[in-house]
Amino acid sequence: MNVRPWNLSARNNLNLYVFIGVLLLSGAVFGALLVNALTLDQQQELAEELKAYWATFASPEQLDSGAAFWDRFLLYAKWLALIWLLGLSVIGVPLMLALDFMKGVLLGFAVGLIVREMAWKGVAVSLAAVAPQNALVIPALAIASVSGARFAHYVVRERLFRRKGRLLPPFLAHTSVALTMLLMLGCAALYEAYVSPYLLERVAPGAAAAVLSALNRV
């Protein structure tokens, strides 16, 4: 395996990207179906995170953007750290892939719940407040997962079976990828904290309060 440079291009890792993409898509579909399939108590439990998120949008002029940024950034950083660590552990790769599926479930549930409560307006709300940051978050997590899978593959093939190869270069490469993806996630958190609340109010005035009210009824 060529670890210098750590090749994560789609051309050379097409199977991994397709597999992770299918996991995310399957999770999103499953999450959307959960909106109607779960009981009232189960929907309430899953909606808690979404409710806290939308609560910050109800009054954009009173929003503490700095606190909102750190809240979202730390959440993304923890998610990325888990992917990085599970890739290093090798045996944790199935759990890493489960995290990708769960990310899809949460995204699908969030969009499905918004659309269910707001009908066609929910589509505009999702495009303004959910889609843009996830255009960064999803690729960042996917790339980090591919890097983790490649590291695990390297360890199994080179260290366990061939009894050769060095761990430091792929470790540094995998860690560098994670740090780079952390920058992407930081950009997503910046958008959520400083842009999304005001864009949401322009696209669908009062939408934040409407969604929050809908979530409170779940």
User: What does the pLDDT look like over 73-110, one tens digit per residue?
Assistant: 999 999 999 999 999 998 999 999 999 999 999 899 88
Indicate the residue type of 62.
Q
Which is higher by pLDDT, 108 or 36?
A: 108
Q: Is the N-terminal amide bond of 132 cis, ω within 30° of 0?
A: no
Close Cβ partners of 174 (under 8 Å, ≥ 6 residues apart)? 6, 84, 87, 88, 147, 148, 150, 151
Instruction: Using a cut of 0.85, tell me whether the model's pTM lies above it.
Output: no
